[in-house]
Amino acid sequence: MLAIENSLTLLINLSGKMRMLSHRIVMLGLIDIHKNASQPQSDMSDAIEEFETIFDLLLSGDENKGVGQETIEYLTSNNVLKAEHIHIIEKFITLVHARSGEEYSNDPFAHYTLLADLVGGELLTALNQLNLDISSALKKRVQEKEDKETDSAKIIANILENLNETARSVSLVATNAMIEAARAGDSGKGFAIIAAEIKRLSEEATETVRTLRASQNP
């Protein structure tokens, strides 16, 4: 399973790339007009395709491209993929493809004027906010993991402290039992052996706790 943090980092970079691609599309379109090109150059088609691919990745995810469904669900649950931003991006894509339609066939400059206004206005604002929202989601995710790890460390520390206290108590009882067995003479020899074994086990438990604590705080 893909780590959500890695996927979010990728999406931060890709959403930033969408801004660059949108400006590139307008620039290449204006170059086409200047050259009186009847068909968009391949660079422009590639830029449009890449923009749409990134947008699809944001909406649906793709494990093979580094963004799993879990990441999309995380973005949705944190209200990152806002409807108004999606609408503006879809508006841009629709307007890009309208360049070859009848409405702008006689006045391509009017088409790219609208496109440039959209790219420099609403779209730029939407993509900037999307980038910030994904960045905020990543920070939140990292903080959640750190908090969870901190909580786990506290739980482990409490368990180790309880184990250590138990080991000390058992060791004290065993020591007292050995003293009493020694006072009992021959009749207490069997009990002394058992007490010594209990003390040894408690010492091993104390050493285990010490080792575990050291591993928790390297």
The domain segmentation of the chain, as residue ranges, is: 4-147, 150-216
Mean pLDDT over the full length of the chain: 79
Q: Is the pLDDT of residue 148 over 90?
A: no
CA–CA separation, 127 vs 138, rounded Å? 16
What pLDDT is attached to residue 97? Answer: 85
CA–CA separation, 218 vs 209, rounded Å? 14
* Contact indicator for 183, 195 with CB cutoff of 8 Å: no
* Contact indicator for 24, 47 with CB cutoff of 8 Å: yes
**Cα distances (Å, whole numbers) of residue 170 to 30, 178, 194, 197:** 84, 12, 12, 11
Q: What tokens appear for 209 in the block?
A: 């706790």
Average pLDDT score over residue span 24-39: 73
- pTM score: 0.66
Q: Is the pLDDT of residue 193 over 90?
A: no
Computed on alpha carbons and rounded to an integer, the radius of gyration of the chain in Å comes to 34
CA–CA separation, 26 vs 44, rounded Å? 9
Judged by phi (left if over 0) then psi (alpha if -120 to 50, else beta), residue 108 lies in: alpha
What pLDDT is attached to residue 1? Answer: 45
Q: Which residue has the higher pLDDT, 54 or 191?
A: 54
CA–CA separation, 29 vs 35, rounded Å? 10
Q: Is the pLDDT of residue 180 over 70?
A: no
* Contact indicator for 192, 200 with CB cutoff of 8 Å: no
* Contact indicator for 104, 98 with CB cutoff of 8 Å: yes
CA–CA separation, 50 vs 31, rounded Å? 19
